Amino acid sequence: MTRDGKAQLTWLGHSAFKLVTPSGKSLLIDPWIMDNPACPENLKVLGALDAMLITHGHLDHIGDAVTIGKKTGCAAVAIFETAQWLATKGVDDTRGMNKGGSQDVADVRVTMVSADHSCGILDGDRIVYGGEAAGYVIELSDGFTIYHAGDTNVFGDMALIGELYRPDVALLPIGGLFTMGPREAAKAIELLGVKQVVPMHHGTFPALQGTPKALAELTRHMDVDVHELAPGERFVSSRPKGPR
Ligand code: NI
Ligand code: MN
């Protein structure tokens, strides 16, 4: 993914990504895999895993976190309340945190940032409080920086995320209805000042109507590459990392 090709970021459909770092650590972001209709069958076998990053408690994000956490013993990163909930479900290695905080997980530096969304966790027949929805800034050992926005609307403080962390690529929801659509995502790109974007949270269900094509149209006048991936495809960086 980075210029040396040593890191790999694969879209598993919806908001799920698998990240393999330059040193070979494996991380999952928003591990909704088994029931994810967009995830290719051959990618549902996950193998060894070092960590999962969970943006919020909605089923299409936290999906398989309990099963995977129990099975692999991997570290589970989530906002404090959601991490506590995972612990009550038998996930041993929870790494709770909150917005503005950073921690080292596997061999990446993870910072939790804001998202404008909700975070109830469906637990049996009730919805329990899961804290708040969040996004993550993930810095690899070579400095390449990924921003996974989770589920969110555009918000003005995305400018702060851009200014503070200077992500090389932003993974942004564009499907609409439950998150921002292309119109709002175009504004998000402007606020972030990011030059590479991978659209996510689109196409999974008919209700998610925002398309990468619409986003590309709306950002045509901007200095940004919209990388439209099919589920199972890897992001390949089109730009050298470094100051922008
Ligand atoms: Ni959600
Ligand atoms: Mn969602």
- Ligand 2 center–CA 54 separation, angstroms: 11
Cross-strand partners of 123: 126
Give yes or no for residue 158 having a pLDDT over 60.
Answer: yes
204: containing domain: 8-235
**Residue 40 forms part of a structural domain:** yes
The answer to pTM > 0.75 is yes
Cross-strand partners of 35: none
CATH number at residue 120: 3.60.15.10
**Residue 240 forms part of a structural domain:** no
Q: Tens of pLDDT along 110-147?
A: 999 999 999 999 999 999 999 999 999 999 999 999 99
- Ligand 2 center–CA 23 separation, angstroms: 30
Q: Where are the beta strands (DSSP E) in the chain?
A: 8-11, 17-20, 26-29, 51-53, 75-79, 94-97, 102-105, 108-114, 120-123, 126-129, 134-139, 145-148, 169-173, 196-200, 225-226
Mean pLDDT of the chain: 95
**Residue 95 forms part of a structural domain:** yes
Query: Residue 35 contacts by C-beta under 8 Å, 6 or more apart in sequence?
Result: 63, 64
**Residue 35 forms part of a structural domain:** yes
**For residue 238, what pLDDT is reported?**
86
Tokens 């993974």, located at residue: 171
**Residue 241 forms part of a structural domain:** no
**Residue 228 forms part of a structural domain:** yes
Query: Residue 121 contacts by C-beta under 8 Å, 6 or more apart in sequence?
Result: 57, 58, 62, 82, 85, 127, 128, 129, 130
- Ligand 2 center–CA 134 separation, angstroms: 12
- Ligand 1 center–CA 98 separation, angstroms: 17
> Is residue 73 very low, low, confident or very high in pLDDT (cuts 50, 70, 90)?
very high
**Residue 199 forms part of a structural domain:** yes
First vs last Cα of the chain: how many Å apart?
18
**Residue 2 forms part of a structural domain:** no
**For residue 244, what pLDDT is reported?**
47
Residue 111 DSSP SS3: strand
Q: How many domains does the chain have?
A: 1
**For residue 4, what pLDDT is reported?**
62
Ligand closest to Cα of 60 equals 2
